[in-house]
Chains A and B, each alone.
Chain A
Amino acid sequence: SAVISQKPSRDICQRGTSLTIQCQVDSQVTMMFWYRQQPGQSLTLIATANQGSEATYESGFVIDKFPISRPNLTFSTLTVSNMSPEDSSIYLCSVVETVTYGYTFGSGTRLTVV
């Protein structure tokens, strides 16, 4: 199965600043997914990122707040912009396995905004 390297693993940021999270996959994948997990909650899909096209955002998430880049088939970044304490969450990237159709997740970025 794919191996995903996600960084940073955690960060504490000041409100009003931005943080960029990176995910590197050890194989080429068509789609990458970005999820948010608020404290004590389940995962919510932010957007789906395809290489060479704009990301598709879910209801409640906008590109100005969560810009995504997908420069090639193995890499993607998610930026959390103009952060507020409400953005404190775990952010995870994910890819779907082409053989099993299960999803593999990065280890997550635990973000705290103060």
Chain B
Amino acid sequence: SQQGEEDPQALSIQEGENATMNCSYKTSINNLQWYRQNSGRGLVHLILIRSNEREKHSGRLRVTLDTSKKSSSLLITASRAADTASYFCATDAWGAQKLVFGQGTRLTINP
């Protein structure tokens, strides 16, 4: 399985602080995506970064990708209580036409 590893498994920070989550994967990818899941409900697509990109921004989100290390990070700046959720990275490998998910990070933002 090319399922990736995420760390930390759980992260608890104060509102207003930045949160960083890391993801590692095993095979060559077409793109890597980050998703948010609130309380075991459906997943929300946050951001997609292609294999030829190194950094991408969307609002308070910043994603980096290092294909040489097969790793990615998601930074959430100026966190809010509403950011409390589980965050998953997922890889779309070349030719695979499917997403494979990492183990996820449970983020808690304390007011």
Contact = CB atoms under 8 A, between A and B. Distances in A.
A102 B98 contact: no
A48 B48 contact: no
Given A101-B92, A104-B45, A105-B43, A45 B99 contact: yes
Interface residues of B, number: 22
A109 B46 CA distance: 22
Contacts of B90: 43, 103
Contact of B3 (A6, A31, A42, A94): A42
A6 B48 CA distance: 24
B33 A107 contact: no
Interface of B: 3, 31, 33, 35, 40-45, 48, 88, 90, 92, 97-104
A102 B88 CA distance: 13
25 contacts: A31-B97, A37-B40, A41-B103, A42-B3, A42-B88, A43-B88, A43-B90, A43-B101, A44-B101, A45-B98, A45-B99, A45-B100, A90-B40, A92-B42, A100-B48, A101-B92, A103-B45, A103-B90, A103-B99, A105-B42, A105-B43, A105-B44, A107-B41, A108-B40, A108-B41
Main secondary structure, interface of A, reads strand
Interface of A: 6, 31, 33, 37, 41-45, 48, 90, 92, 94, 100-108, 110
A109 to B, nearest CB: 10
Contacts of A110: 40
Contacts of B45: 100, 102-104
A48 B99 CA distance: 11
Contacts of A104: 45
A48 B98 CA distance: 8
A108 B48 contact: no
Nearest to A90: B40
